[in-house]
Copies of this chain bind each other. A is one copy, B any other.
Amino acid sequence: MDPISILVVDDHQMVLDGLSAMLRPFADEAIVVATTTDPNKARSLAAELHPQVALLDVRMKAMSGLELCEHLRRDDPQLKIVLLTVYDDEQYLFQGLRAGASGYLTKQVVAEDLVAHLRRVLDGEVVVDPSLAGRVALSAARLDRGEFWPGAHLGLSQRESEVLELMVHGNSNRAVAARLMLGEETIKTHVRSIFRKLEVSDRTQAVALALREGIFL
């Protein structure tokens, strides 16, 4: 496995240096390929280097991490984004996740935990710092344990969420069935449930809603 390539964006040069130094001993698992204090430069860096993950400070002078997060996701939906904060409050957590972030960590995180978290993020999971997870009670706790799945806030079940994601990626009912190793009729039932819960009448509207909600890449 190649080491995870990381782009770091933070107002404070100190943090950039600190993170790079912190991860250097783990160079075989994760390497910082670029750092910048300029959010605008972050976009061009991401476009040039195509890192796998971007670590963003939530609060920055020029542009908020949340705003930058949206920009980066628009530029490259594949890029995973993890928000960093010194503030261990949950105020920006949900905003961050809504903006498309895959993780929300405090700067107290230690290197080996960070590496582990990044690996989970690349596996498609959403990671939240346990110290935050404790405070945001149920919802965030579920998030951290993986009991949470995209679209849950819309009332979708886990299976329905999986089906919707495959629909978003252009799969037909039959293709979804093949990927999930289920019968096509089963998928059609799930699809009808999704329509009912999302209050739409066809897959195009369902996909449009999912993308507008920012549920899937």
Interface residue ranges, A against B (CB under 8 Å): 74, 77, 167-170, 172, 200-205, 207-209, 211-212, 214, 217
A153 to B203, CA, bound (A): 26
B167 touches A212 (CB 8 A): no
Q: Interface SS of chain A: helix, strand, loop or mixed?
A: helix
A74 touches B212 (CB 8 A): yes
The 9 residue pairs across chains A and B that have the minimum distance between CB atoms: A170-B205, A211-B211, A204-B204, A204-B207, A203-B204, A207-B208, A74-B214, A77-B212, A168-B208
23 A–B contacts, CB within 8 A, in A order? A74-B209, A74-B214, A77-B205, A77-B208, A77-B212, A167-B204, A169-B208, A170-B200, A170-B201, A170-B202, A170-B204, A170-B205, A170-B208, A172-B202, A203-B204, A204-B204, A204-B207, A207-B207, A207-B208, A208-B208, A208-B211, A211-B211, A211-B212
A217 to B200, CA, bound (A): 18
Contacts of A211 in B (CB 8 A): 208, 211-212
